[in-house]
Structure 1
Amino acid sequence: MSPIPILCLPYAGAGATFYRGWPAPPAGIELVPLQPAGREERYHEDPYTDLESAVADLSKLAAPYAEAGPYALFGHSFGAILAYELARALPAAGLPAPGLLVVSGSAAPGVPLGRHSAGLDDEEFVARVEQLAGYVHPALADPDLREVVLPVLRADVDLHESYRPADSEPLPVPVTVFRGAFDHLVTEEDCRGWADVSAKGCSQVEFEGGHMYLAEDPLPVLRAMAELVAARPLPERL
């Protein structure tokens, strides 16, 4: 049996390299990082300015995996919102729904974030993002890389802060919520609403660490994803 692909969406401003640098996952799953426009090998493309464009573009990247057999979706922070919207968009386009949606470090859709960071000047914006996330994006320390990363980060943060779900119909997909136990940005209460987005059940797993717990140690995350797939077997891929 081939491993189940976990299509991974990065947090605001990040690219697929975040996941590409992780250790090899346990047997049964493989990580497939999806690369949003405007970063890394797609740096020559404009970042997304609206969620519809983002989901349409990422759906094209996800479609071959959805067509090939069972798959799951995973996203952290803003990436969790993108994964959730992909879980809606792919079936709407006539493609199979994911067998599992794993959202990490994110309030449930419809929970207002209560912050407006995108309009700040560069120094204030970077300081605000670092304060909120408890994490310093490595590229922001390099003046040359900062010029490349900052417009993408601003665009993502603006989309995240202005996000409002267009559809509240529960997904026919089981949802699991990952959260750092000491996440000051996303509370346990913020996550409870994820139970309302699934008609197939919702569970929660906590990890040691804060909002960016998975950057500190991805191994527990990989093990948890493999355990989820093993506990809720998706149909075999031929």
Structure 2
Amino acid sequence: MSPGDPLTRRGGWFPEPASAGADRERTATGPYLVCLPYAGGTASVYRDWQRELAGLGWPGRVVPVLLPGRGPRLHEAAYTAIRPLAEALAQALITRGFTSDYALFGHSMGALLAYEVARALTLAGEREPRHLFVSGSRAPHLYGDRTDHTLSDDELFRLVDDLGGLGPEPSVGSAYFTRRLPALRADLRACDEYRWRPSTPLSCPVTAFSGAGDRLAPESAVESWRPYTAGSFLRRHLEGGHFFLNGPARSRLLREVRAQLGTPRSGPGDDTRPLLPARNAAWTY
């Protein structure tokens, strides 16, 4: 959680930024990088990613996702279950034409949601993502052992603050937390009550990011994403706590994302990706 949302031209799943560089984002070519927020988060988590990835030479478009129950969608009820949310988002991606050539990135709850979105799109007959990035998240089968959504307001505030999710200014963090509390509880309930269902591994490459000081998703829990793909798997260990993507480690994370996205496909049937020797060989159940 980080205070402050950018102005948006419209709501919906994919708000458009009313900022410098917005025209560049809307006309970008190449693959779409669909970015899903952590619990209680908004599309603003990824507000600078378009500019930063473009600066690294990536020609695609960053598509931050705005979930119901927050920001311009505050009037909508937040989902309290991961799979119905994933199915709704998958349909929105299909409707907007974002599934022709796309990658998925999610942090914490967003990683779990990204995995289920990839599954939902596959079941709907769409192609898999060219890449799945999971950040600060345990593997899906490790969810279901927490009851954070049942904590009192004060207990939940302390938990989020201890994880570094409220920022350095207590008064700003407190006001932000209060505003986000209903969506945060709904998201945490969705995570707490999620139960993984055994299924065929994805075939796309997966890159997993872990944080050195992340108590919610330690190295071993992030490494456990490995069997979720029959393709290649890579894990990068970064400095920082649970919200490392909002800190100094973000520049390294984005460089890795850029490297793994590689070259855009040249046509609808071209699924060629660059061979990256640093990636581990395929590993399946």
Same structural fold, with TM-score higher than 0.5 when normalized by the shorter chain:
yes
C-alpha change, 1:13 and 1:103, in structure 2 (3 Å) is: same
1:96 is matched with which residue: 127, 133, 136?
127
Q: Which residue does the alignment assign to 2:215? A: 184
- State the Cα deviation string for residues 89-134 of structure 1 (Å, max 9, x = none): 0111111210100000001110146321111221112212333x33
Aligned residue number for residue 24 of structure 1: 52
User: Which residue number in structure 2 is paired with residue 235 of structure 1?
Assistant: 265
Which residue matches 1:121? 152
| Cα distance in 2 for residues equivalent to 1:105 and 1:146 | 20
Ranges in structure 2 where 5+ consecutive residues have no aligned partner? 1-27, 269-285
Q: What percent identity do the matched residue pairs reach? A: 35
* Residues 1:13 and 2:40 are matched in the alignment: yes
Residues 52-107 of structure 1: CA deviation (Å, up to 9, x unaligned): 3211221133223444x211000000000000001100111111210100000001
> 5+ unaligned residues in a row in structure 1: which ranges?
none
The corresponding residue for 1:141 is 174
* Cα offset, 1:235, TM superposition: 2.1
Equivalence for 1:153: 184
User: CA shift at 1:234, angstroms?
Assistant: 4.9
1:211 aligns with 2:242: yes
Residue 113 of structure 2 aligns with an amino acid whose one-letter code is L
Q: Secondary structure at the match of 2:192?
A: helix
CA RMSD of aligned residues (A): 2.1
* Map of 1:167 onto structure 2: 198
Match of 2:253 among 204, 221, 228: 221
**Given the alignment, which residue of 44, 55, 58 partners 2:89?**
58
- Alignment partners' CA distance in 2, 1:12 and 1:112: 14
What one-letter code is carried by the residue in structure 1 that aligns with 2:33? I
Moved more, 38-47 or 176-185: 176-185
Residue 37 (structure 1) aligns with: 68
- Residue in 1 that maps onto 2:31: 4
The structure, 1 or 2, with the larger RCO (C-alpha pairs under 8 Å, 6+ apart) is 1
Rounded to whole Å, the distance in 1 between the matches of 2:98 and 2:197 is 23
Deviation, 1:237, is 5.7
Pick which of 181-190 and 193-202 moved more: 181-190
Q: Secondary structure at the match of 1:167?
A: coil
- 1:103 aligned counterpart, secondary structure: strand
Aligned length: 232
